[in-house]
Amino acid sequence: MAESNVQTATTSQEPPRSGKRRLFLLLLLLVVVLGAVGVYAYHILYGRFHEGTDDAYVNGNVVQIMPQVTGTVISIAADDGDLVHEGQALVQLDPSDTEVALQSAEANLAKTVRQVRGLYSNVDGYKAQVAARKVELERARADYQRRQALAKSGAISQEELSHARDTLNAAQSAMTTAEQQLNTSRALVDDTVIASHPDVKAAASQVRQAYLNNVRSTLVAPVTGYVAQRSVQVGSRVQPGTPLMAVVPLEQIWVDANFKETQLRDMRIGQPVEVHADLYGDDVLYHGTVESLGVGTGSAFSLLPAQNASGNWIKIVQRLPVRIRLKDDSLQTHPLRIGLSMNVDVDLHNQDGPVLAQKPLQQPRYSTDVYTRQLAQADELIEHLIHENGPAARDAITKR
């Protein structure tokens, strides 16, 4: 009796438990359905128009400072992290040898200019000689013609006529010699002025090279930026092309984001991008645009490209670098450094842009005029030397 009562009680309690389980399963199913609907709605409304990656890093121009002449380092004016401005001296090499070479080249140019002035003076001198020989020739010809008429009448002897003929021939030879000397002298200076004479230009090129070598004994910053990777020490003997330090202009930076090839179908140049840096977290938002899509995957341009023709081939999803140009609205208050990790999100709504660039750039992306200024200063020095040793110097001496 007691056992039957227990079974009856147990049986009476089972239906409520089954109802609760069924309700729980229904709620779970509802949550799964709502989650699936939410995921689908997110994909339709937002997800399919955005592609993101955390495989992105800050990149920029790293301007290497390398000597162009051989020399010994005597001073270093900047260290890692220092701000330097365009044209500021960074490293000083011993200028003794280059200064001596420059002085020798200047003296050679001055001497050459004076020698070329002499060539122009020779032309004037030979012109005067030709004029004098012409007068002598006319006098000899007139004398010969007069004596020839007298010889016909027997007023003078044939011997005297022969002397007049010899004098005429000598005057004619002297005239020919003077004309040849004038032509030879003219050939050395025709269609030139002192500054454009070949000898002067050759000497000027030596001055220009010596001046540049002397100026380049002081290594200057080509651009404004921050010093990095300093390896040079005072007393080091450096050769052309040896990296001494680098200058990084942090206002000229971009982000290289490595997207999977499956993410690039709808990506176009010019699409807006939102970027977060691990350095600052989600509180700081950077804006940018897609500037270019890489023309090859990282593995294709690696030192040892993959050889997929082998039998043991495993397909790996490749990544393509996408360059993102940042706007400098947040860079001033929250500067970035080369190599920092970034999180990138590309808005794919606007797909009017091209996949690849359609026309070449009209202006250089980055340039400096520091070295152009050095060449202009060398030309100014050459012009000064030519002026000081040219006709102006002669006129100044004449006025004294």
Domain range annotation of the chain:
114-191+372-399, 248-302+314-368
pTM exceeds 0.85: no
Q: pLDDT tens, position by position, for the chain (400 residues)?
A: 445 554 554 444 455 567 778 888 888 888 888 888 777 776 666 657 788 999 999 999 999 999 999 999 999 999 999 999 999 999 999 999 999 999 999 999 999 998 888 887 777 777 887 888 888 878 878 877 777 777 777 677 777 777 777 887 888 888 888 788 777 777 777 777 888 888 899 999 999 999 999 999 999 999 999 999 999 999 999 999 999 999 999 888 999 999 999 899 889 999 999 999 999 998 899 999 999 998 888 778 777 777 777 667 778 888 999 999 998 778 888 999 999 999 999 998 888 889 988 888 888 888 888 988 889 999 999 999 998 887 754 543 333 3
248-302+314-368 is classed in which CATH architecture?
Beta Barrel (2.40)
> Which tokens is 199 given?
């000898």
- Residue owning tokens 């939410």: 38
Contact assessment for residue 257 and residue 324, using Cβ atoms and an 8 Å cutoff: yes
Work out the number of other CB atoms within 10 angstroms of the CB of residue 1: 5
Burial status of residue 349 (CB atoms within 10 A of its CB: 0-12, 13-18, 19 or more): exposed
Work out the number of other CB atoms within 10 angstroms of the CB of residue 44: 10
C-alpha distances in Å from residue 152, one per residue of 145, 156, 294: 11, 8, 104
The C-alpha atoms of residue 166 and residue 172 are separated, in whole angstroms, by 10
